[in-house]
Amino acid sequence: MLLYGRLSKDNKEEVLEKAGKDLEAVRDQHFARLMKELQGTDFWKLRRAYSPGVQEYVEAATFYKFCLSGTLCTLDEINTTLVPLSDPSLEPLQINILDYILGLADLTGELMRMAIGRISDGEIEFAQRICQFVRQIHRELMLVVPKMDDSYDMKSKMEVMLQSVIKIENACFSVHVRGLEYIPLLGDNAPTSYLLGAADVE
Amino acid sequence: MAGGDGQVSHSLEKQFESFRVQLEESAALREQIRAVVMEIESATRLIQANLLLVHQSRPIPEVIEKAKEKIVDLKQYYGRLAEILEECPGQYYRYHGDWRSETQAVVSQLAFMHWLETGTLLVHTEAEEKLGLNSLEFGLETEDYLTGICFMSNDLPRYVVNRVTAGDYDCPRKVMNFLTDLHAAFRMLNLRNDFLRKKFDSMKYDLRRVEEVYYDVKIRGLISGGDPPGVQAVQGQS
């Protein structure tokens, strides 16, 4: 995930290539091991043990896909990549809906950070694309989340997600209204606009 | 004495047996209420998801059309709620907590929709009417209505910000005037330190943010029309 922080339009290709390889490595090594460990047991039974790790993977994989193509990597797509890792005679570990959705929620936080970063580099359009994307995810999840098991965690993630959306929207607003005068301001560490809020300095 | 004890324990048992029956009945009623309230919540979420599209500059009439379809459902659900409560007359307030926050959310969405359409505030009686409620039998609590209005105000700054990003520089002024009037009207109420009071306080911050957006837009001369110089320059570059 640290790699993505360094992503900019100049080094995009090479960073993405490295990221892609890293993701593959995680898949091949860690997921394969996970599958071997879980063999023979019910995936749901031990979910609490591996769920956080899986969520992180979902976050990384969807982030990667977005940087690559601006689209959302679906659950089916991710699971398809996992199938080859296990013995064909055994049931492959498939990520379940809940972990996917939880991972997606964390993705939006990363995207928000990236959007704010892109804006300070002057890449407004990319930030706007992220804005649209995150809005869409938030909206879709809004209808799905209340039906989830133990939706309590997810509910607070939804609030955080909305705050991320609002931060991105506010940044796009500031750029639009202030135009070119805004971008150098971000670089100079000048007092941040009330709209971004101090919380951004994380 | 043994006979006496027997009598005492018998009436004690009787009391608790009667309690058990009553509480089971009210629990059953609660379950019925809960079921309907969950439908109300679902419908409200759908309305909310639809209304969110105005942040993405979808045309208002289109967005409202879809949302309006759900109001029909809401009316139905509140009707069912009223029916259920008819079974136990005089206990509206006992169970009111079970639909309080959901109703506040409903009012908030309805009021936002109304404002998008007309630029005015949805009044209490209109809100009641839309939901098929009437204050004599099963009505809309004034406090729920007011809290719902505060929730609506909370969404306005975000709306204004996104409208300006989309190039609608008139929006801040309209919202600012609306919120100023609304806030002033609320100040006429003598609110105590409860939930509604806190929501009212948050309206002050909503108003302040809208004012800031308005000034931002004004001092850059955007209100007279045309895009900010920065955007023009960027467009020139690309």
What does pLDDT average to over chain A? 75
Chain A nearest-CA residue for B161? A173
Asked whether the beta carbons of A130 and A111 are under 8 A apart, the reply is yes
User: What is the per-residue pLDDT for B220?
Assistant: 84
Which of A57-71, A149-163, B42-56, B131-145 ranks highest by mean pLDDT? B42-56
Q: Cβ contact (<8 Å) for B217 and A177?
A: yes
DSSP assignment of A127-180: HHHHHHHHHHHHHHHHHHGGGSTTHHHHHHHHHHHHHHHHHHHHHHHHHHHHGG
| Non-local CB neighbours of B100 within 8 Å, separated by 6+ positions | B141, B144
Residue A188 confidence (pLDDT) above 70: no
Spelled out in words, what is the top-level CATH class assigned to the domain A11-182? mainly alpha
pLDDT 10s digits, B164-194: 999 899 999 999 999 999 999 999 998 887 8
The C-alpha of A175 sits at a distance from chain B's nearest C-alpha, in angstroms, of: 8
User: What is the per-residue pLDDT for B92?
Assistant: 87
Is any Cβ of chain A less than 8 angstroms from the Cβ of B202? no
Q: Which of B49, B216, B233 comes nearest A143 by C-beta? A: B49
Asked whether the beta carbons of B64 and B81 are under 8 A apart, the reply is no
Q: Cβ contact (<8 Å) for A176 and B161?
A: no
> What proportion of chain A, given as a percentage, has pLDDT over 70?
71
User: What is the per-residue pLDDT for B228?
Assistant: 56
- In chain B, the domains with their CATH numbers are 1-99 (no CATH), 141-238 (1.20.58.200)
Asked whether the beta carbons of A97 and A104 are under 8 A apart, the reply is no
Residue A5 confidence (pLDDT) above 70: no
Which of A1-15, A140-154, B207-221 ranks highest by mean pLDDT? B207-221
Residue B162 confidence (pLDDT) above 90: yes
Least confidently predicted of A168-172, B26-30, B134-138? B134-138
φ/ψ (deg, to 5) at B173: -65, -45
User: What is the per-residue pLDDT for A20?
Assistant: 75
Q: Cβ contact (<8 Å) for A132 and B56?
A: yes
User: What is the per-residue pLDDT for A96?
Assistant: 83
Show residues of chain A in contact with B155, CB under 8 Å.
none
Average pLDDT over residues B92-104: 92
Asked whether the beta carbons of B191 and B197 are under 8 A apart, the reply is yes
Residue A78 and residue B193: Cα distance in Å, rounded? 51
Question: In one letter, which amino acid is B174?
Answer: K
User: What is the per-residue pLDDT for A97?
Assistant: 85
Tell me the domain boundaries of chain A. 11-182
Beta strands in B176-215 (DSSP E): none
Residue A10 confidence (pLDDT) above 60: no
User: What is the per-residue pLDDT for B86?
Assistant: 86
Show residues of chain B in contact with A132, CB under 8 Å.
56
What does pLDDT average to over chain B? 89
Q: Which of B209, B216, B233 comes nearest A177 by C-beta? A: B216
pLDDT 10s digits, B203-235: 999 999 999 999 999 988 877 555 555 544 444
Q: A-side interface with B, Cβ within 8 Å?
A: 124, 132, 135, 139, 142-143, 146, 166, 169-170, 172-173, 175-182, 194-195
Q: Which helix (H) or strand (E) holds B95?
A: helix B92-95
ipTM of the complex: 0.82
Q: Cβ contact (<8 Å) for B228 and A178?
A: yes
The C-alpha of A197 sits at a distance from chain B's nearest C-alpha, in angstroms, of: 12
pLDDT 10s digits, A95-126: 888 888 888 888 999 899 888 888 877 777 88
pTM of the model: 0.81
Residue A189 confidence (pLDDT) above 50: no
